[in-house]
Structures are given as C-alpha cells and as structure tokens.
C-alpha cells in the first residue's frame, strides 16, 4: 500500500491541509503513529495525541480546529465523517490485500463441483462432490467445503473453516477461521432406562447475503428444515447457534452468546457477550440484550433487557440498587429485632 495525501483526499472527497504529496505506506492508531503511516481522529477524547503523533497523514472532521501547534510533518485530510472515511479506506486496503485468483497445491476440487471465475483456493483446502461456488470466492488453506454445498459470489472462507454437506451460503459472506457451519444439532432422546439415543439431524444451515461470522463460531444444522442466519447478520467469535434457530435480518451478537434450539430472533436485535437465549422462544424486533443476561421466555415487544432472568434495564437498575442496600437493611433489621426483644422484656 502506498498513497499520497492527494489520492486519499480524492477517494474521500476531502480537503488537504499540508503537503498534498505526503506519502503513507501503512495504517496506525493516532497514539501509536509512525512516519509514513495514516491515522484518524474522530473522538475528541484522543485529540491530545494529534499534537505529538508521528503519523504523516491524519484524517479529521472538517469541524476540527487545532488548539495547539501540530507537528510540522503532519498533513491533515479533512472530511465530513472521519470515522466513516477511515473505515472506507480500510475496505480499500482490504481489497488490495485480497488473494489473487489461483489454486494452490495440494488441494482438492471434486470433478462434480462447479466453481466460478476468480477463485482463490488455498493449499489443503477441500471442495466436495456436487458443490457450487460463485464468482470471486476466496477459500483459504485447510478450509473444508462438504458435498452439495452452495456458496454465492464474493465470499471469503478463512483458514480451517468447515462447511458441512447441503448448507447454503449467500453472496458477500465472510466466515472466519475455525468456524463450523452445519454440524449436527444437539438432539438426543432418553429411553426408559435413561440411555440417550441420537436423533438424526438431516436439515441444513442457510446463511443469507452480507453476513459475517467470527472465528470459532458454531451454527448447527436443523433436525428438519433449516437453521437460518438472515441477511446482514453479524456474529462475533465463539458463538453457539443451535439447530433450527432463526436469526433475523441485521441482528448482531457479541462473543460467547448461546442460542438454544428453535429460538426465533427478530430483526435488528443486539445481543451482548455471554448472554444466553432459551430454546423455542421468540425475541421481538429491535430488542437489546445486555451482556451476561439470560432470556428464558419470549420477548413480545422491543425492550432493553438485563439480568438473569432478563428484565427491563431500568427495573434491573432499581433492583440492583436494592440488592446493594441489603447488608444495610439486614443490619437495621437486626437492630430493630434487638430493640423489639428489649421492649418485650420490659413489659
């Protein structure tokens, strides 16, 4: 990567303050800036760093006015939204570093599989019988794509990801390293002696367009039918999605969330880390669930829930205030008990 301030301003429709020929070859946080690196300042909390940064170019909002002298070596590119513009540059950088089409060896593409143009297939990757892969796919080393899988255009499957048979992946999907799509759901039934027998899991997983799934996340195949991850969903690392779950469009979940079987998650739902959602329940659209909360029953209208069991956050805050006061309340009760006994003896 090598850009001049003039090129960056052209991409972002920005204004240059300083040397239009200044060159950057890398990216850095403003507090860790190095010569020939590009940084950004959007949060005023970090403004102090711009007056001593070693970065060569910094993207700032057009409203930014320095309160102190800036380093002589620093060039500013002023834009309407520094954070959004820096994200745009990161996307450009990501596309530049994307693997070029090639098939590394050793790797395996079944004779009955079909792959679109622009495929990058890393060493030791496997594509099974009857699988269909769209255009411009990047499948990194040691990825496994099972039989009769369908993968759309512009998808990226990172190293070591596993996609079991019959699963369907839409367009513009990113699946990060170590993720498993389509393993068996946790389906067992005990007999009269308490011995568990396995229920065959013969469904699949359907992941719609524009989904991103973090590392070491697991999404189980349905017992019957499909487990659905709808359009635009974003899943963090280390998430467990059980069989027959349906995650609604543009919902997001942070790390270590667990969703039990057949739960239906609405659209635009946000779930904090380590939250747990019980099976066979429904979560209303636009619900927000605070980290480490437990949701044992259906949520019928949007709310922000906290605690286990999850309750509206304002109720939780009041309850927590009372909980913190419990030692004081217990002490007062003990004092009142002593006084009551004393009064009883006097009578």
Active-site amino acid positions: 243
Distance of CA 240 to the CA centre of its chain: 13
Question: Which of these, 254, 216, 253, 211, lies nearest to 233 by C-alpha position?
Answer: 211
Three-state SS annotation for 124-161: CCEECCCCEECCCCEECCCCEECCCCEECCCCEECCCC
Integer Cα distance of 16 and 304 in angstroms: 43
Which DSSP helix (H) or strand (E) runs through 175?
Answer: strand 174-175
**For the residues of 179-225, what is the DSSP string, one character each?**
-EEEEPP--EEE-TTS-EEEPP---EEEE-TT-EE-TT-EEEPPSSS
Q: How far apart are the first and last CA of the chain?
A: 91
């Amino acid at each position: 990567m090598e850009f001049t301030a003039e090129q960056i301003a052209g991409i972002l429709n920005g204004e240059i303050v300083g040397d239009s020929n200044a060159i950057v070859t890398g990216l850095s946080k403003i507090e860790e800036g190095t010569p020939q690196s590009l940084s950004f300042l959007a949060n005023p909390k970090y403004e102090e760093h711009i007056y001593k940064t070693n970065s060569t170019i910094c993207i700032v909002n057009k409203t930014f006015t320095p309160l102190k002298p800036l380093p002589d070596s620093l060039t500013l590119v002023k834009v309407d939204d520094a954070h959004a513009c820096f994200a745009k540059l990161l996307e450009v950088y990501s596309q530049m570093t994307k693997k070029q089409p090639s098939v590394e060896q050793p790797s395996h593409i079944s004779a009955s599989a079909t792959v679109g143009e622009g495929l990058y297939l890393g060493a030791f990757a496997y594509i099974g019988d009857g699988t269909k892969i769209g255009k411009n796919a990047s499948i990194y080393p040691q990825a496994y794509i099972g039989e009769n899988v369908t993968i759309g255009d512009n998808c990226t499957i990172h190293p070591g990801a596993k996609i079991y048979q019959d699963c369907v992946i839409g367009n513009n999907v990113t699946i990060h390293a170590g993720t498993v799509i389509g393993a068996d759901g946790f389906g067992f039934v005990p007999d009269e002696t308490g011995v568990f027998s396995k229920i065959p899991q013969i469904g699949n997983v359907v992941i719609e367009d524009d989904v991103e799934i973090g590392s070491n996340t697991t999404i189980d195949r349905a017992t019957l039918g499909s487990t659905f991850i709808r359009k635009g969903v974003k899943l963090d690392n280390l998430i467990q999605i059980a069989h027959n779950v349906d995650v609604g469009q543009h919902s997001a979940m942070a790390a270590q969330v667990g969703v039990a079987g057949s739960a239906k998650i609405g659209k635009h739902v946000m779930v904090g880390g380590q939250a747990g959602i019980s099976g066979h329940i429904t979560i209303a659209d636009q619900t927000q669930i605070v980290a480490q909360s437990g949701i044992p029953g259906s949520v019928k209208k949007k709310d922000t829930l906290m605690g286990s069991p999850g309750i509206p956050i304002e109720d939780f805050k009041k309850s927590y205030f009372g909980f913190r006061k419990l030692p004081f309340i217990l002490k007062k009760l003990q004092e009142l008990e002593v006084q009551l006994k004393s009064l009883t003896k006097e009578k």
